[in-house]
């Protein structure tokens, strides 16, 4: 995982509830997250713990991955705190002519 230097943003409570549910059910899945925008990586496994550090809060998986909570795009297919950023890339006009955007 690449180091993220930007400030940690608080994670919404509804997403915390989703994480708690997934952890309690001991589900196994894939987590997509930003390393440095727009670069993304994925992590796999069960959620073992959520730890707080001076750099922010991190999710730890059974495969040894450490993912910053505010950078999660999807958690086992469910939208995460950074999904809106990812979704914004899909809404950008890809045409090179400004008059067609």
pLDDT in tens, the chain (101 residues): 445 568 888 899 999 999 999 999 998 999 999 987 678 899 999 999 999 999 899 999 999 999 999 999 999 999 999 987 776 666 556 555 555 55
Phi/psi at 89 (nearest 5 deg)? -65, -35
Residue-range domain boundaries for the chain: 13-100
80 neighbors 15 (Cβ within 8 angstroms): yes
Nearest of 81, 72, 77, 68 to residue 14 by alpha carbon: 81
Work out the burial of residue 83: count CB atoms within 10 Å of its CB; fewer than 13 is exposed, 13-18 middle, 19 or more buried: middle
Q: Rounded CA gap, 20 and 15, in Å?
A: 9
Position 6 scores a pLDDT of: 81
Strand 28-34's sheet: what is its strand order?
Answer: 66-68, 56-61, 40-53, 28-34, 72-75, 78-79
Query: Which pLDDT value is given to residue 30?
Result: 95
């Amino acid at each position: 995982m690449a180091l993220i230097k930007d400030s940690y943003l608080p994670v919404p409570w509804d997403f915390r509830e989703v994480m708690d549910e997934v952890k309690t059910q001991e589900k196994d899945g894939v987590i997509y997250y930003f390393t440095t925008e727009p670069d993304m990586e994925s992590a796999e496994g069960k959620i073992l713990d959520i730890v707080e550090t001076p750099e922010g809060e991190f999710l730890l998986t059974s495969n040894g991955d450490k993912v910053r909570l505010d950078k999660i795009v999807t958690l086992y297919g469910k939208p995460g705190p950074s999904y809106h950023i990812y979704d914004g890339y899909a809404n950008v006009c890809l045409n090179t002519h400004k008059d067609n955007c």
